[in-house]
A and B are shown apart, each in its own frame.
Chain A
Amino acid sequence: MLAEAHFAGVLFAPIVLYGIAALPITLVLCALLWRSGFMRLVWHLPLFELSLYLCILSLLVLLF
């Protein structure tokens, strides 16, 4: 797991960095899922996208 980061003297908890890193990954995945037509099968899109984001965030915390 990453240690806390600092930028210009401001300390950031690692979860903030993981959270920021998970965002573009989620956006790209959502775009791919839209293109493939999978999103049209989803019942509640915001709930799905939030769940996807949390899964990617958890994966990043697990792997890095």
Chain B
Amino acid sequence: MTARSRSSDAFPASARLWQVAATALPSWRTLSPTVLYCARTLLAVAIALYVAFWLQLQSPSSAAITVLIVANPVNGALLSKSIWRLFGTIVGAATAVLLMAAFGQTPLLFFISFSLLIGAACIVSTLLRYFQAYGAVLAGYTIIIVCAPAFADPENVFPSAVSRLAAVSVGIASATLVFLLTSIRSPSRLSDATLSLVRSAGAALGGYVLPPATGSAWRQTGPGSLPPDIYDARGQLLSQANALGEIIEYAAADSYAVAERADALRHGAAGMMGALSSLHPFYPRLGPDDRVAGEIQNAIQALQEISAADPGPVLERLAEIRDHLRDRLDETQLALPDLTRLAAIRRVHDLLSRLHQAAACLIVPGRSRRARRTRPRLRQFLDWPTALRNGARGAIVTMLACLFWYVTQWPSGPTLLAYLVPAACLLASNPSASQASVAFATGTLLAVPSSYLCETLLLPQISGFPLLIGAFAICLLPGIWLQFSPRHGLRAFGYVVFFSAMITIRNPVSFDDPALINGWLAYLVGAASLVAVFHALLPADPARDSNRLSHALARAVQRLGHAGHLPDVTVWEYLRMQQVLRLIQRMQPMDASLGQRVIDCALMSIELGRDVLRLRVLLAGAVLEPPERDAARDCLRAISRLRRDPAAAGARIAAAATLLGAHPVPPPVLLHIAALLQEMAVLINESAGFLGKDFEVLDAG
């Protein structure tokens, strides 16, 4: 081989190596958001630490930890979390001062009061949503963070509280300034999310109610009988609609214009979620030769073309199609009365109305204040049993940890409390807390060797603030990089927060190896205890929670049969859909086909509830003969006793539907009521097991 041939072989090899590297490494377009996020976070940490040192705060690392906690690539989320963190810190610090003032000399009373306050914070946190829940739990565990340095000398509690507040304020100011000033105006997430939801939901619902293509027809055989792709689409759309609520909150925190429209947006999201509840097996579908099918196809096409810039023409077209359907409905009622077809057209008309209203709320800007006053107030579902369980767990773990410290007189006891109590509170409202506790504890354990390397190898070599930040950045970077990874996010969060807590940086830095090692031992014991807490102490029971939610849904439908206050359909539906979303979450560890059957029944119960509300509205306004009115009211009485014997209630309602439909010359409203009762009977018969008071989720297989 000659030198020339050797050099010509080497060049293609390096080019091949470069090609392999270029394809294996992610592109800059994929990496750049994470790189920018890391750079902004590290800059905010540097500024927070510098200001904390300059102000000579007691605990400068609290400022850095605050930055790491509130940092978020979405500005609205950062602002929302910052506001609630500040509020929670003020409440927690004030409570800590009062608690220490009252029980500074009586440790047991202090522990009891502290445990009860932690329990209350966990209860409130479970009942609230988004970062309001975080603020509530923070208010609870700030007490131990403020009191820990003051146990030896209770008079220090006030300076400790003020120092904590100052450190948190510095961290929030630093993070907010850096992230907001370095943000680039990008296309609105909210606009993209709303358009995507409207188009996807329209396509899914329209495809569902239209006649099936030749050869792909499926027959309704019961709950759980839909094709798998419809279940997948339903799951994705429900997640999308649920996530829209969070996007609206963060966008409202960031933009005044969005905050003005927030109420309309929430109603739009709630309406869209309600429309998605029609994706169940017994939604009446049009026949293949139905003239209405063409109009539905036009409506779906119109929804796909909707845009934020000019939604008016599409919404007008949707309204026209909806009005055409209403005319068809009237024609059908006057012509040969086919109750099934009447029900199908009525449901499609109703679905189009809801889609039109939801799309208008979500996309049309500048909703008037008068419209806001006429909209009913949406209610949040309050899951009291889960809240009480989380509160009890929080109180018990706090009490046990405090008593452990009291009995053992371990000097690092406050460090154990300062880890275990916040971690237990933060994870309490996590839907899969036992798994989350393992991830969080793993992150904390990874922080121990990392802080050892930093304290013993890096920090003794440095002098000056820039090298300190450099050392910090090297150790924090892996955690910040993975903080928003779906798989490693919680682990990374535990790592960055507790690495910063373990590193005792002061000005000047002092090295105390025994205190360091004792602190690490406290974190190790805390991490092990955290995992044990969520596995052994009142662990979540998905089957029990699923039963509870299923019974709550059935009871809600039954209550509608009673005379009394008629709830607004959107508000009622939104509450029920929140319960269904929780049911979906609780049933995830169970068999998929069981989950599909139960969720189908849950959505059918919501459809049944809407029908009952519609029936009550019709009866209130219709002029009927006494026998017909009595038959319809008898159906409402059957609904009010639904759970005792759903099959009997279904039979009574079906008989009433036959009676009303057999009228020789039925007026339109009577046909409408008869079609409604026929649908209600079908829904009850097909979900009779779910609606009964003896329903057990695990027996639904």
Most A-side CB within 10 Å, residue of B162, B177, B257: B257
- Which B residues are in CB contact (< 8 Å) with A31? 256
Partner of A46, one of B181, B256, B260: B181
A2 at the interface (CB under 8 A from B): no
The answer on a CB contact under 8 Å between A10 and B162 is yes
Closest A residue to B176 by CB, please name it.
A46
Could you mark each residue 372-391 of chain B with 1 if its beta carbon is under 8 Å from any beta carbon of chain A, else 0?
00000000000000000000
Chain A nearest Cβ from B101, distance in angstroms? 12
- Which B residues are in CB contact (< 8 Å) with A44? 181, 185
Could you mark each residue 256-297 of chain B with 1 if its beta carbon is under 8 Å from any beta carbon of chain A, else 0?
110010000000000000000000000000000000000000
- A15→B573 CA distance, assembly (Å): 51
| CB-CB under 8 A for A50 and B256, given A10-B162, A44-B185 | no
- Which B residues are in CB contact (< 8 Å) with A45? 185
Chain B nearest Cβ from A60, distance in angstroms? 19
Partner of A34, one of B75, B177, B256: B256
- Which B residues are in CB contact (< 8 Å) with A50? 177, 180-181
- Which A residues are in CB contact (< 8 Å) with B180? 46-47, 50
Chain A nearest Cβ from B473, distance in angstroms? 25
- Which B residues are in CB contact (< 8 Å) with A43? 185
- A43→B181 CA distance, assembly (Å): 12
Could you mark each residue 28-51 of chain A with 1 if its beta carbon is under 8 Å from any beta carbon of chain B, else 0?
001100100001100111110010
Most B-side CB within 10 Å, residue of A30, A45, A46, A47: A46
The answer on a CB contact under 8 Å between B256 and A30 is yes
- Which A residues are in CB contact (< 8 Å) with B75? 46
- A34→B177 CA distance, assembly (Å): 21
Chain B nearest Cβ from A7, distance in angstroms? 11
Closest A residue to B177 by CB, please name it.
A50
Chain A nearest Cβ from B86, distance in angstroms? 12
The answer on a CB contact under 8 Å between B162 and A39 is no
- A40→B255 CA distance, assembly (Å): 11
- Which A residues are in CB contact (< 8 Å) with B236? none
Chain A nearest Cβ from B644, distance in angstroms? 55
The answer on a CB contact under 8 Å between B183 and A46 is yes
Chain A nearest Cβ from B259, distance in angstroms? 9
Could you mark each residue 180-219 of chain B with 1 if its beta carbon is under 8 Å from any beta carbon of chain A, else 0?
1101010000000000000000000000000000000000
- A50→B162 CA distance, assembly (Å): 26
- A32→B257 CA distance, assembly (Å): 12
- A55→B94 CA distance, assembly (Å): 32
- A13→B211 CA distance, assembly (Å): 74
Closest B residue to A10 by CB, please name it.
B162
The residues in B between 26 and 58 inclusive whose CB is less than 8 angstroms from any CB of A are: none
Chain A nearest Cβ from B81, distance in angstroms? 16
Closest B residue to A9 by CB, please name it.
B158
The answer on a CB contact under 8 Å between B183 and A34 is no
Majority SS of interface residues in chain A? Answer: helix
Could you mark each residue 1-38 of chain A with 1 if its beta carbon is under 8 Å from any beta carbon of chain B, else 0?
00000000010000000000000000000110010000
- A2→B118 CA distance, assembly (Å): 41
- A30→B256 CA distance, assembly (Å): 9
- A17→B4 CA distance, assembly (Å): 79
- A44→B186 CA distance, assembly (Å): 11
- Which A residues are in CB contact (< 8 Å) with B183? 46
Most A-side CB within 10 Å, residue of B75, B162, B177, B180: B180
Chain A nearest Cβ from B309, distance in angstroms? 15
- A10→B162 CA distance, assembly (Å): 10
- A46→B260 CA distance, assembly (Å): 18
Most A-side CB within 10 Å, residue of B183, B256, B257: B256
Chain A nearest Cβ from B166, distance in angstroms? 11
The residues in B between 160 and 180 inclusive whose CB is less than 8 angstroms from any CB of A are: 162, 177, 180
- Which B residues are in CB contact (< 8 Å) with A10? 162
Chain A nearest Cβ from B77, distance in angstroms? 15
- A31→B257 CA distance, assembly (Å): 9
The answer on a CB contact under 8 Å between A47 and B181 is yes
Chain A nearest Cβ from B187, distance in angstroms? 15
Chain A nearest Cβ from B174, distance in angstroms? 13
Closest B residue to A40 by CB, please name it.
B257
- A45→B183 CA distance, assembly (Å): 10
- A34→B366 CA distance, assembly (Å): 12
Chain B nearest Cβ from A30, distance in angstroms? 7
Chain B nearest Cβ from A12, distance in angstroms? 11
- A50→B173 CA distance, assembly (Å): 12
- A24→B177 CA distance, assembly (Å): 18
- Which A residues are in CB contact (< 8 Å) with B260? 34
Chain A nearest Cβ from B27, distance in angstroms? 28
The answer on a CB contact under 8 Å between B177 and A39 is no
Closest B residue to A8 by CB, please name it.
B158
Chain B nearest Cβ from A28, distance in angstroms? 12
Chain B nearest Cβ from A45, distance in angstroms? 8
Chain A nearest Cβ from B257, distance in angstroms? 6
- Which A residues are in CB contact (< 8 Å) with B162? 10
- Which A residues are in CB contact (< 8 Å) with B257? 34, 39-40
- Which B residues are in CB contact (< 8 Å) with A40? 257
- A31→B256 CA distance, assembly (Å): 7
Closest A residue to B79 by CB, please name it.
A46
Chain B nearest Cβ from A2, distance in angstroms? 20
- A45→B256 CA distance, assembly (Å): 11
The answer on a CB contact under 8 Å between B181 and A39 is no
Closest A residue to B259 by CB, please name it.
A34
- A30→B260 CA distance, assembly (Å): 13
- Which A residues are in CB contact (< 8 Å) with B181? 44, 46-47, 50
- A50→B75 CA distance, assembly (Å): 15
| CB-CB under 8 A for A39 and B256, given A10-B162, A50-B177 | yes
Chain B nearest Cβ from A59, distance in angstroms? 21
Closest A residue to B256 by CB, please name it.
A34
Could you mark each residue 224-264 of chain B with 1 if its beta carbon is under 8 Å from any beta carbon of chain A, else 0?
00000000000000000000000000000000110010000
Chain A nearest Cβ from B158, distance in angstroms? 8
Chain B nearest Cβ from A4, distance in angstroms? 15
Query: 7 closest pairs, A vs B, by CB?
Result: A46-B180, A34-B256, A46-B181, A47-B181, A34-B257, A31-B256, A30-B256
* A–B complex contacts, Cβ < 8 Å, 15 sampled: A30-B256, A34-B256, A34-B257, A34-B260, A39-B256, A39-B257, A40-B257, A43-B185, A44-B185, A46-B75, A46-B181, A46-B183, A47-B180, A50-B180, A50-B181
Q: A30-B256, A43-B185 are in contact. List 7 more A-B contacts (CB 8 A).
A: A34-B256, A40-B257, A44-B185, A46-B75, A46-B183, A47-B180, A50-B181
